[in-house]
Chain A
Amino acid sequence: MLELAIGIILGGCALGAGCAMIAGIGPGIGEGNAVAAACEAIGRQPECQSTVTTTMLMGCAVAETTGLYALVIAILLLFVAPGRFVNILINAIG
Chain B
Amino acid sequence: MNNIDPVIKKETKFIALVVLILSALMQAVFLIIGLWDLPVLFGNILGGVVGILNFFFMGLGLQSALKKETADAKQTAKFSQTMRNLMIVVTIVIAVFVSWFNLASTAIAIFFPTIGVFVKAFVINKKGGNKE
**Contact residues, B70-101 vs A (CB, 8 A):** 70-71, 73-78, 81-82, 85, 88-89, 92-93, 96-97
- Tell whether, in the assembled complex, residue B78 and residue A72 are in contact, meaning their CB atoms are under 8 Å apart: no
**CA A65 – CA B92 in complex, angstroms?**
16
Are A35 and B81 in contact, CB atoms less than 8 angstroms apart? no
What is the size category of the interface that chain A forms with chain B?
35 or more
Measured in the bound complex, the distance between the Cα atoms of B54 and A65 in whole Å is 11
- How far does the alpha carbon of A59 sit from the alpha carbon of B82 in the complex, in Å? 18
Can you list 16 A-B contacts (CB < 8 A)?
A28-B78, A31-B81, A40-B70, A55-B130, A56-B62, A57-B7, A57-B8, A58-B121, A61-B117, A65-B111, A68-B111, A69-B111, A72-B88, A72-B107, A72-B110, A75-B92
- Chain A interface (Cβ < 8 Å from any Cβ of B): 24, 27-28, 31-36, 38-40, 42, 49-51, 53-58, 60-62, 64-65, 67-69, 71-72, 75-76, 79-80
